Amino acid sequence: MRRLILLALATALAAASAHAAPPAASLSITCDAGGEVAGAEAPNLHGNWDFLMVPGGAPSFGVMSIGFVGDQYGGALVPVRTAPVVLRNITLAGDRIRMVVASAEGDVHFDGRLSAKGDYMCGTVTYHGGATFPMVAQKRPSTYRSQPQAERAR
């Protein structure tokens, strides 16, 4: 995951430093989230995540912060090139994760899978106009441990 992000970043920086248009390139993202662990408690999504998505073939990096609002998840997505947007709905069912991002043009949806350890997610972003792009996110290590969702007051 980190190699993919570093490779894409290095390619973008090299093209920018040469003052030339970036070379035509194909960026492919694949994800094997691994199988669910039987009997394991649901992963805690709370924390900061580095993400990479590829709209129109151009890599777009940023940080996603997920936290609890009561017993539900909420958060913000901060792409490097645009303004922050609100993660207004985040649902997790098994290893399937779905997020709804509020944007000025309409809702943007992420449908993907969470790794068995709960430390990365991979899937597809669908924009309000129907265009789809791949996206991956990796959770940053943290010593902070929030209360598990199952134990939060409802």
What per-residue confidence (pLDDT) applies to 6? 47
What per-residue confidence (pLDDT) applies to 129? 86
Classified as helix, coil or strand, 143 is: coil
Distance CA 131, CA 58 (A): 14
Indicate if the pLDDT at residue 154 is higher than 60: no
Across residues 30-53, what is the average pLDDT? 75
DSSP letter (8 states) at residue 18: T
Strand partners, 101: 87, 108
16: exposed, middle or buried (C-beta count within 10 Å: 0-12, 13-18, 19+)? Answer: exposed
Q: What count of residues does the chain have?
A: 154
Distance CA 42, CA 27 (A): 32
Per-residue pLDDT tens digits for 94-120:
899 999 999 888 899 999 999 988 899
What per-residue confidence (pLDDT) applies to 58? 82
What per-residue confidence (pLDDT) applies to 56? 78
What integer best gives the mean pLDDT of the chain?
A: 79
Per-residue pLDDT tens digits for 62-90:
999 999 888 889 999 999 988 899 999 99
Q: Nearest-CA neighbor of 51 among 25, 35, 29, 36?
A: 29
| Alpha-helical runs (H) found in the chain | 2-17
- Of the two residues 64 and 151, the one the predictor is more confident about is 64
Percentage of the chain with pLDDT > 90? 41
105: exposed, middle or buried (C-beta count within 10 Å: 0-12, 13-18, 19+)? Answer: exposed
Percentage of the chain with pLDDT > 70? 69
Confidence class of residue 7 from pLDDT cuts 50, 70 and 90? Answer: very low
